[in-house]
Structure 1
Amino acid sequence: MAEERWSIGDLASASGVTLRTLYYYDEIGLVSASERTGAGHRRYTAADVQRLYRVRALTQLGLSLDEVATVLRSGAENLTALRDLLAAQLADLDVKARRINEVRQRVLGLVELLDGETMPEPERFLGTLEVTAQLHGHLSEQHWDALAARRAELGDDTVDALRAEWVTIVTELRRHLVNGTPARDSAVRELAGRWQRVAEAFRTGQPDLDERIQAAGEVVWRQHGARISEYVSDRAGWSAPGEMADIVDYVQRAMKS
């Protein structure tokens, strides 16, 4: 029996690839019909169909068409080129996954804020979004990737524990502040040390990056300290949104004493 042939329409229906895509693949030489009829119509052989499915499999892994072409040109026996491309793709996916997780955490925090016992005023909520945008504007993708990588290294459980520890520290500092405990008091200084250790846990280990991140945080605090205080107060259920600024000043005085 003669080997089966597929028209471009039949191949599109069977493979789920659009006609437009098949024409484009043909145009760039990625998947072309090996035969033509007397009237010039494309006819795809079994080998052409196999190549199409290999192209689909590789693109579904996130490889670009140029990278797919490189793999196919290198030959099926040369898996080194494919391995290198997949390793690079895996690294890129890791970065994207960390970025997605960063966005997820921010969205989760905002949802938790809206689900709290006291719904924030619209202006205060939008102010929180504004602060987030400002902070991101002061850092490059490289900085955010480094921070995300550090959080991924720590793991979700450790990050959650550190955040819980920070909330405990801030709550204790607030209590001392309200009670009039001097910043030089040993208990306050111990809390300030714990505050600093929590912050250090999130450092990337790259001094230049860490300095840039810290500087950006200080700029945002100077510009939007009131907004940040409102956000923390909303999350903690405090009645006075300005208290966070007082606590930060309290910690800084304790560290210097």
Structure 2
Amino acid sequence: MDHPDEHCWSIGELAAATGVTVRALHHYDSIGLLQASVRTTAGHRRYTRQDLQRLYGIRTLRSLGVPLGGIAAVLDQPGGGPESIRNLLQRQLDAVGGQARQLDQLQQTIRELLDRINNDGDAAPALFVTVLEGMSMFEDYFTEDQRRELAERRAHLGRQATEDARTEWAGMVEEGLRQVDGGIPATSPEARDLVRRWDELGSRFHSSEGTKEAARAMWNGNSGELSKALPWSAQQMQALVAHLQGAREAG
């Protein structure tokens, strides 16, 4: 039906005025998200000012990454559904936060891989395999919440502090291996001091016992594979872990 007293837009005019393609408008129509309120006697679509306002709402929510299904559920609420919009945006904010953390993890992994390739370019193919294996193990042993916790802790520390911690950790590994090679008992003051500093360093990245236990389980189950990415052999690292555990139990 025509509405002679109200300004209406054809689908082409609406596309030109809003920057939304005709194809997108046809898609919105087909899924019931935005259907023209008016049809001419010849059956042509005509969009009203109310339709235009709905389209702007769609574009706004789409720009925030909200899926079309979620947009329809909100816009179809009486009065615009303020509470539904709030809940939708909160869910979207949570989802974006999760994506940001995943991107942070990916960025860190890429940086680490680049650093290692730059240090040993000939080993690049092997490094790719090692990194992929490590990522798979990480997902097997740590829950999604634990992975998020670790990413948040690392982001809070910052890249420089993380690199400094790695350097400090490598120094403690060398110190521990010297104790093992020198036959220093795990009950000695030197060993107990080392494990204290070792655990303090780990606490910078682990805010709960759950992530610590997951890390130990991953190492215990995959020490051989994980050692491929380290400058020390699996046997050396296993001996060091046993030495530290003995010192930890000795108090």
Instruction: Confirm or deny a common fold (TM above 0.5).
Output: yes
Aligned mate of 1:193, from 177, 191, 196: 196
RMSD of equivalent CA atoms: 3.1
Deviations 1:74-100 (A, max 9, x none): 425x64443332223212211221122
Query: Structure 1 residue 252: deviation in Å?
Result: 2.2
Structure 1 alignment gaps of length 5 or more: none
Aligned mate of 2:226, from 228, 232, 238: 228
* AA in 2 matched with 1:192: V
Distance, in Å, in 2 between the alignment partners of 1:74 and 1:166 is 59
* AA in 2 matched with 1:246: A
Deviations 1:197-256 (A, max 9, x none): 222333344x5xx0xx445434432342122222121xxxx6x57533332233223323
Query: Structure 1 residue 178: deviation in Å?
Result: 4.5
Partner of 1:202: 205
* Equivalence map 1:88-99=2 (5 Å): 88-99=91-102
Aligned mate of 1:251, from 213, 233, 244: 244
Partner of 1:183: 186
Q: Which segment drifts farther, 218-227 or 85-94?
A: 218-227
Query: Structure 1 residue 137: deviation in Å?
Result: 2.2
Distance, in Å, in 1 between the alignment partners of 2:122 and 2:241 is 25
Distance, in Å, in 2 between the alignment partners of 1:215 and 1:194 is 18
Whether contact under 8 Å (1:7, 1:42) holds in the other structure is yes
* AA in 1 matched with 2:223: G
Aligned mate of 2:67, from 64, 67, 72: 64
Aligned positions, number: 246
Asked which structure has the greater RCO (Cα within 8 Å, sep 6+), the reply is: 1
Whether contact under 8 Å (2:7, 2:49) holds in the other structure is yes
Structure 2 alignment gaps of length 5 or more: none
TM-score (normalizing by structure 2):
0.79
TM-score (normalizing by structure 1):
0.78
Whether contact under 8 Å (1:9, 1:19) holds in the other structure is yes
* AA in 2 matched with 1:169: M
* Cα 1:14–1:171 shift into 2, 3 Å: farther
* AA in 1 matched with 2:236: E
Distance, in Å, in 2 between the alignment partners of 1:69 and 1:204 is 40
Deviations 1:162-203 (A, max 9, x none): 434323322332344455544333223211111112223333
* AA in 1 matched with 2:169: W
* Equivalence map 1:99-138=2 (5 Å): 99-117=102-120, 119-120=122-123, 122-123=125-126, 125-138=128-141
